[in-house]
Copies of this chain bind each other. A is one copy, B any other.
Amino acid sequence: MSDESDSVDGRKARGNKRRAEIIDATLAIVTRDGAAGVTHRTVAKQAGVATSLSTYYFATLDDLLVAALSSVADVYTARIRQIIDGTGDKLRGLAELIAESAGPGRERALAERELSTLAARRPALAPIARRWRENVAELAATLTDDPEAIAALVAASDGLCTAILIDNAPSDPDYVHRILARALDAHAGRTGPRR
């Protein structure tokens, strides 16, 4: 009863590894061909396993998409939490995170958006897709108490990501930071810096 869920090299561990490999393969497919390209066959081929193995771990395609979106969301959640718990400028950290969507993080951000859009139609995906916005809101809540300022920052963050991903908008962190600061510090009567 000592090793319940994480025996170092049991069958469970091997199974979890396979599971993770299949999820990674799914994200690779979403990145390359879009969510529409995700099938048990394409995923299995990408992962280098038999088609049946994908159905063994994920009975339905929805299960697979939910797991994939969860995986992406987890990464972003960890990044934002790192910013929140860190000592640096939180708004600047968010700006840099958003600006990454134009560079190395572009593919992952695109996959996240693709899966999020899918969430509008698949209830199982909705709560996971909500996490990104909730995370940004939580970060914003450490900078202001004004609910509208929080909503404005969330909207600005999302819109900036869209602009960068779809419109190839400029992604200079300083530029992004200024737009975000604008949403946060409107002429609501207050002038001094927060926190």
Chain B residue contacts of A118, Cβ below 8 A: 34
Interface size class of A (residues with CB under 8 A): 35 or more
A13 at interface (Cβ–Cβ under 8 A)?
no
Q: What does DSSP make chain A's interface, helix, strand, loop or mixed?
A: helix
* Residue of A35, A178, A186 with most partner-chain B CB within 10 A: A186
B165–A151 touching, CB < 8 Å: no
Contact residues, A160-195 vs B (CB, 8 A): 160, 162-163, 165-167, 169, 175, 178-179, 181-183, 185-188, 191
Chain B residues whose C-beta falls within 8 Å of the C-beta of A186 in the assembled complex: 181-183, 185-187
Which residues of B are found within 8 Å of A113, using beta-carbon distances?
A: 117, 120
Query: How many Å lie between the Cα of A58 and that of B188 in the bound state?
Result: 52
In the docked arrangement, what's the CA distance between A110 and B157, Å? 20
Copies per complex?
2
**CB pair A154 B149 closer than 8 Å:** no
Q: Which residue of the partner chain B has the closest CB to A158?
A: B159
Task: Give every chain B residue within 8 A of A133 (Cβ-Cβ).
Answer: 163, 166-167
Check A166–B119 contact: CB distance below 8 A: yes
- Taking the closest CB of chain B, its distance from the CB of A108, in whole angstroms, is 13
Residues of B within 8 Å of A96, CB to CB, are none
A interface residue numbers (CB < 8 A to B): 33-36, 110, 113-114, 116-121, 126, 129-130, 133, 148-149, 151-152, 154-160, 162-163, 165-167, 169, 175, 178-179, 181-183, 185-188, 191
A to B CB contacts below 8 Å, 25 in the list: A34-B118, A35-B36, A110-B120, A113-B117, A117-B166, A120-B166, A126-B166, A129-B166, A133-B163, A133-B166, A133-B167, A148-B175, A151-B179, A155-B158, A155-B163, A156-B159, A156-B183, A157-B159, A158-B162, A162-B162, A181-B186, A182-B183, A182-B186, A183-B183, A185-B187
